[in-house]
Amino acid sequence: EAEVAQSPRYKITEKSQAVAFWCDPISGHATLYWYRQILGQGPELLVQFQDESVVDDSQLPKDRFSAERLKGVDSTLKIQPAELGDSAMYLCASSLETTGVEQYFGPGTRLTVT
Amino acid sequence: AQSVTQLGSHVSVSEGALVLLRCNYSSSVPPYLFWYVQYPNQGLQLLLKYTSAATLVKGINGFEAEFKKSETSFHLTKPSAHMSDAAEYFCAVSDPGRRALTFGSGTRLQVQP
């Protein structure tokens, strides 16, 4: 069964350092999402891609966060510099463009900023 | 703007008892509605979805949910809880024109032996 891959699964970094997360969606899925889930809360959308184009990044803190999906396949989310409040689970999801209804989630990257 | 309210951040039931997790939504357009389950340090798994077909939706692991437009609700039920059902459950809504999901704050289900 095809799955969304994410790496690393866990990351510990010091504040002010740079950190990057990688996501490989299910093959053929044109839409890719990055969500942030703070402990005890539901996930919140950071950025949505359609192929290589950003569809929605209205909730992405652009002063420190960046996201790219250069070839419309895998994607990287970067934080520079990391802050204590960035500690969270970062979830990647993908969906087929034609339906887009069902999103498939990866296992997530648990970030701890010290 | 869409929003989701999950009543009860923690629900505890006995094994074999009825599970009822509540979800109310607000949306300016006919919504798509979802229930996801999350086990510790894992991603989200789709339990079921409503996309304007039958109002009673059956999902995996014996769960089902009923869409009630008049009550703007989409409560999740399971007739008999198993120990393996202990997890965090999230209700989510999407605007068919904007596929990103808006999630509720989650309900942690505990199942007592």
3-class DSSP state of A14: coil
What pLDDT sits at residue A63? 96
Percent of chain B with pLDDT over 90: 75
What pLDDT sits at residue B94? 87
- Concatenating the DSSP letter of every residue in B23-57 gives -EEE-SSPPEEEEEEE-TT--EEEEEEE-SS-SEE
Q: Among A31, A44, A94, A105, which would you mutate to test the B interface (most chain B Cβ atoms within 10 Å of its Cβ)? A: A105
Closest partner residue to A106 (CB to CB) among B43, B94, B98 is B43
> What is the mean predicted confidence (pLDDT) over B11-38?
93
Inform me whether the C-beta atom of residue A106 falls under 8 Å from chain B C-beta atoms. yes
> What is the mean predicted confidence (pLDDT) over B42-58?
89
What pLDDT sits at residue B76? 98
Q: Are the Cβ atoms of A43 and B51 closer than 8 angstroms?
A: no
* pLDDT, tens digit, 9 for 90 and up, residues B79-92: 999 999 999 999 99
Q: Which residues of B touch A107 (CB under 8 A)?
A: 41-43
Percent of chain A with pLDDT over 70: 96
User: For residue B38, how many other CB atoms are within 10 A of its CB?
Assistant: 22
Query: Given a cut of 80, is residue A101 above it in pLDDT?
Result: no
What pLDDT sits at residue B31? 84
> What is the mean predicted confidence (pLDDT) over B68-82?
95
Mean pLDDT, all residues of chain B: 92
Distance of alpha carbon B36 from alpha carbon B49, whole angstroms: 9
Q: Are the Cβ atoms of A56 and B100 closer than 8 angstroms?
A: yes
Closest partner residue to A42 (CB to CB) among B46, B94, B105 is B105
Q: Are the Cβ atoms of B43 and A91 closer than 8 angstroms?
A: yes
What pLDDT sits at residue A100? 55
C-alpha torsion angle, residues A99, A100, A106, A110 (rounded to 10): -170
What pLDDT sits at residue A98? 58
Alpha carbon of A25 to those of A48, B58, B73: distances in Å?
13, 27, 32
Inform me whether the C-beta atom of residue A11 falls under 8 Å from chain B C-beta atoms. no
Q: Which residues of B touch A48 (CB under 8 A)?
A: 99-100
Query: Given a cut of 60, is residue A62 above it in pLDDT?
Result: yes
What pLDDT sits at residue B28? 76
What pLDDT sits at residue B51? 85
Q: Which residues of A touch B105 (CB under 8 A)?
A: 40-42
What pLDDT sits at residue A99? 59
* Sequence-ordered list of residues with C-beta below 8 angstroms from that of B57, at least 6 positions apart, any chain: B48, B49, B50, B64, B65, B66, B67
Q: Are the Cβ atoms of A100 and B45 closer than 8 angstroms?
A: no
What pLDDT sits at residue B53? 76
